[in-house]
Amino acid sequence: MTGQDFVKVNMITRTWAGKRASIPLGWRLIKHKLLRKDYASLGRSLMARMALTYKDLNGEIWLESPFVDFTYENDKVTGLIVNKNGQQVTIKINKGIIFGSGGFSKDQEKREKYLPSPQDASWTSSPEGQTGDIIEPFAKLNARFGLMDRVWGAPSVINHLGKPFFLVADRGIPNMIIVDQDGKRYINEPTPYHEFVDKMYEHNEKTDGKAITSWIILDARAKKRYIFTGLFPGQDFPKEYYENDVVLKGNTVEELEGKLNISKGNLVETMDRFNGFARDGKDLDFHRGETPHDTYYGDPSLPNPNLLEINEAPYYAMKVYPGDIGTKGGVVTDEFARVVKEDGTVFDNVYAAGNCSASIMGHSYPGPGATIGPGMTFGYVASMHCKDKK
């Protein structure tokens, strides 16, 4: 399903728009199962379209051919070395080389070196291969780096197989809260995901590690009504989640509090305070449900789409980690996507776009696509700059 599909289907038990949206999705699923039609959406469909276009232009794609190093003469990059099928191959640069690779989110050593502590490569939802292969070769050429201490934050839960699930719409559920290890709320739960992870680290510093990990808590009514961690309304968690303590369940708030090792009475107090806000329709602590961003994934049938009492047993909790969808830092580039050196000059034939370059968004994140849009734009800028060279 697409993002536009999801925001409607998420309310399948609550709105007629959700029920109507489920019909074409159901038909699509039937065709997928019976007719073996392999549908794609989101990033997968984008990459398929781009790969097909490149194929139509007779472009050549080498898989399993990682970048190793540059060749250069008199401080000028003349080519690059790749490891193709186990053998090193040197490719000579004609007009220019454009790096469109990812960051270093899968490399534990680099995470610990550059990112705020604590760090764990298992928290990232980025693809395999994001190991920052360009960093050392560019450092040897005195390239300038920026934003190396930043990630594209993605608060996540992790299943019994170690696979992260990125919490987006899940944090808009009205009868749900997120607390630290003291059982205290410390954030407006639907906060934009990039900013959410920054807040986790800020709060972690203030509380001596009480925010990492945090807990997302919801009740039986939330499970009956809304999609949560990819499970449809009324669908129970897999038994492996319970067996491996991915999900902890309590028949009372007090029982859940004990299972989470939260000081006695703290979670009960937090829940009582939140439920009072839910009854009044106004979150006096964190103003949840007061912005269009908050309410986008909320329940439009409620007075405040993001507030509902959490009071129907059983109660469920999952650990929330400061995950990411990639690192944000890399080589600094100019307006033509050329890589900048430490002295402010540029490599006239080496370009970078995407997550291997320092993001033009700086510390901010305007919204989904903030990596893809600039990556495509500066990839285009770089290619046009190369094309125009004599």
Which tens digits make up the pLDDT trace of 233-251? Answer: 999 999 999 999 999 999 9
CB atoms within 10 A of CB 144: 16
CA 249, 255, 257, 262 dihedral sign is: negative
Give CA–CA dist 298/7, Å, rounded. 9
Give CA–CA dist 118/111, Å, rounded. 9
| pLDDT above 90: residue 269 | yes
DSSP label of 240 = H
User: Residue with structure tokens 């409607």?
Assistant: 8
Bridging pattern class, strands 176-179 and 164-166: unpaired
Nearest Cα to Cα of residue 175 among 266, 282, 299, 318: 299
Over residues 112-128, the pLDDT tens digits come to: 999 999 999 999 999 88
Over residues 320-365, the pLDDT tens digits come to: 999 999 999 999 999 999 999 999 999 999 999 999 999 999 998 8
| pLDDT above 80: residue 209 | no
The fraction of the chain above a pLDDT of 70, given in percent, is 100
| pLDDT above 90: residue 278 | yes
Q: What is the CATH number of domain 64-152+326-387?
A: 3.50.50.60
Instruction: Tell me the residue length of the chain.
Output: 390
Please compute the mean of the pLDDT values over residues 24-30 and round it to a whole number: 87
Least confident of 38-52, 123-137, 178-192: 38-52
Please indicate whether the domains covering 64-152+326-387 and 156-322 agree at the CATH topology level.
no
Environment class of 265 (CB within 10 Å of its CB; exposed 0-12, middle 13-18, buried 19+): exposed
Q: What is the CATH number of domain 156-322?
A: 3.90.700.10
Residue ranges of domains in the chain: 1-61, 64-152+326-387, 156-322
Give CA–CA dist 267/256, Å, rounded. 9
Give CA–CA dist 330/117, Å, rounded. 19
pLDDT computed for residue 122 by the predictor: 95
pTM of the model: 0.89
Contact of 66 with 84, CB cutoff 8 Å: no
pLDDT category, 136, cuts 50, 70, 90? very high
